[in-house]
Structure 1
C-alpha cells in the first residue's frame, strides 16, 4: 500500500440533481481495502456512501472529516475542485 501518493477529495454536484457528494480519488486500488475505508468513513461522517470505479463517494460535504481521517492514517490529502 502506497501512502506517499496524494489522495484528492472533491465535492461534486453535477448530474446528481443538486445533491452534493464528496468523492475520494487516488486511493490504493484494492477492493477489500476500499470497502473497509468506505465503511469506516460512513460511520465517522454519519452518512451513506459507496465505492464506485475505484473511488469512495460519501453523501453531502464531508471533505474536512474525510481529510482528517485520512491524515490520521498517514495519507497526504489535497482538497480538489469545488
Structure 2
C-alpha cells in the first residue's frame, strides 16, 4: 500500500480504494418474458431479461411497465420483475415500442 492510497479520512469517513463499475451484460437484444413462482412462496412474478440497454433505461422501462400493469415491481441484476402474470400486456407494449420479444418458459 503506497502513501497515496487513502483508506480512511476524518473528513468524509471511509473512502473506497477503487470504484467498481458495473459492466452491462452482453445480450442478443431479444427480451425474454417469463412467469416465475420459484422462491416466491407461490406468488407469480413476470420477469424480463435480455435487455440491451443501460441501467437507467432499464429502470425507466420498469417504471412504465409497472404503471401500465397497475402493479409493483423491481429491477434486480438487470432483470425486471413485475408482480403478477402480465406477460401478454407486457409483450404487446414492448412490441409497440419496437423491441423484439419472446415468451419464454411454460
Please give the TM-score of this superposition, normalised by the length of structure 2: 0.72
Q: Which position in structure 1 is the counterpart of 2:78?
A: 54
> Unpaired segments of 5 or more residues in structure 2?
1-27
Q: Please state if 1:31 is matched with 2:47.
A: no
Please give the TM-score of this superposition, normalised by the length of structure 1: 0.92
Aligned pair partner of 1:64 in 84, 88, 99: 88
Aligned pair partner of 2:33 in 2, 5, 9: 9
Structure (1 or 2) with the greater strand fraction: 1
Runs of 4+, deviation exceeding 6 Å: none
Aligned length: 79
Contact 1:29 1:54 in 2 (8 A): no
Note the 1:35-46 alignment, pairs <5 A: 35-46=59-70
> Unpaired segments of 5 or more residues in structure 1?
none
Rg larger for: 2
**Deviation at residue 6 of structure 1 after TM alignment:** 1.3
Structure (1 or 2) with the greater helix fraction: 1
